[in-house]
Amino acid sequence: MSHASISQSISIVHPISLSHGKNAEVWDTAGKRYIDFVGGIGVLNLGHCHPGVVAAIREQATRLTHYAFNAAPHTPYIELMQRLTAFVPVHYPVSGMLTNSGAEAAENALKIVRGATGRSAVIAFDGAFHGRTLATLNLNGKVAPYKQKVGVLPGPVYHLPYPSADNGVTCAEALKAMDRLFSVEIDVNDVACFIIEPVQGEAGFLALDIEFAQALRRFCDAHNILLIIDEIQSGFGRTGQRFAFSRLGIEPDLLLLGKSIAGGVPLGAVVGRKALMDNLPKGGLGGTYSGNPIACAAALATLEAMTDEHLHTWGAHQEAAIVSRYEAWRSRQLSPYLGRLTGVGAMRGIELVNADGTPASRQLTQLLGLARDAGLLLMPSGKSRHIVRLLAPLTIEPAVLEEGLDILQACLAQLD
């Protein structure tokens, strides 16, 4: 499907045109129904058109559709930041700012750490994805297609292996690479921050090694380096708790938020230690649309729905259903291409591999088409585009989840 008025540099996974959606189901303009395991790439943890979010948007739209917060503060921004900072489970005082997206949150975090440390070097990780803006491109741990043809990127940025049981990189290997980096490439005293995802999304839902996470936190503390944790995709209940960093036994200095923060309305945030967030001069942070009143109202309704009990129940149910199905598929040898189940909680990936262990990228492309034809939308990931990401809304009805897994099962069995 091609639209002449739209840049052809935008890659389209599914050549359909959607009309409307409700919770975990969407319909295209021809009236065909699909079960949505894409969820706006992690934006719709509460599903399409959540009633509470829709009501909040409608109400706010009758009161104030926009005001630039840096020109005159408005109550939705103030109320949301009070709720959001209380929602972040850390022991220290938190403040923050709202942005238009996760990538913008990452850009502002880089400004904040430069201002706080007087340093500019950043350490990121192989397989990382932090956005498509110019500075975030350099943080990404993958060249194609994000860094191609765009020339010199802002730096300095260095990359380390990402240790995870899901990719076979051990804590010891990552620490050895870190030791080499600071012995050969850069003085540790020049590093402003590390930036890391507790569960990598673009790389195929790889869960960070807990031992490494704790070693990294100790290393940062010992060398006055700040730790940015990117929870843009893993946050707001995707792993069964508010944020995935809690499972690692660490806390970030700065936390990047986005995607499911506002039930589908564009919004992001960077929050963290108050002293860090306050260190830039007046006017150093802000933006015309950042913290739009309608987006703030949607986010307030989102947080209202995301109680700890709900997040745990939703995440545990979805995780149990996915793991149970996957284990059954493995035991009955459903497909010769069925590889590992990656990730944690309801943030899961299914790897497709050939008999020799190499990525089965062709079969994943085949799976996307088969599933779409059968009424299920899936999203690819992984360096070789061979891992299916499962991002159904946390609020998906049990019967719809099972129906979607039935379709996935049937399609996996057809791969050749």
CATH number of the domain within which 349 lies: 3.90.1150.10
In whole angstroms, give the CA distance from residue 361 to residue 32. Answer: 27
Same structural domain for residues 149 and 206? yes
Q: Is 178 inside a domain boundary?
A: yes
Using CB atoms within 10 Å of the CB of residue 139, give its burial: 0 to 12 exposed, 13 to 18 middle, 19+ buried.
buried
Same structural domain for residues 287 and 327? no
Q: Is 225 inside a domain boundary?
A: yes
The amino acid at 17? S
Per-residue pLDDT tens for 179-237? 999 999 999 999 999 999 999 999 999 999 999 999 999 999 999 999 999 999 999 99
- Which tokens in the block code for residue 257? 């938020």
| Residue 336, domain extent | 308-414
In whole angstroms, give the CA distance from residue 159 to residue 148. Answer: 17
In whole angstroms, give the CA distance from residue 246 to residue 5. Answer: 44
In whole angstroms, give the CA distance from residue 387 to residue 52. Answer: 33
Among candidates 346, 288, 286, which has minimal Cα distance to 316? 346
Contact between 25 and 48 (Cβ < 8 Å): yes
The pLDDT of residue 134:
78
Last residue of a domain, one of 278, 305, 332: 305
Last residue of a domain, one of 305, 335, 368: 305
pTM: 0.94
Which H or E run includes 388? strand 387-390
Q: What percentage of the chain exceeds 90 in pLDDT?
A: 89
Last residue of a domain, one of 305, 320, 345: 305
- Which tokens in the block code for residue 398? 């049990």
Same structural domain for residues 293 and 328? no
Same structural domain for residues 144 and 199? yes
Confidence check: pLDDT of 153 > 80? no
The amino acid at 132? R
Q: Is 189 inside a domain boundary?
A: yes
Same structural domain for residues 260 and 320? no
Q: What percentage of the chain exceeds 70 in pLDDT?
A: 97
Q: Is 115 inside a domain boundary?
A: yes
**Residue 218 is part of a domain; what is its CATH number?**
3.40.640.10
In whole angstroms, give the CA distance from residue 222 to residue 2. Answer: 53
Confidence check: pLDDT of 150 > 60? no
Same structural domain for residues 261 and 294? yes
Q: Is 203 inside a domain boundary?
A: yes
Contact between 287 and 71 (Cβ < 8 Å): no
Number of independent structural domains in the chain: 2
- Which tokens in the block code for residue 271? 């929050």
The pLDDT of residue 8:
87
Same structural domain for residues 312 and 293? no
Which H or E run includes 82? helix 75-87
Same structural domain for residues 233 and 324? no
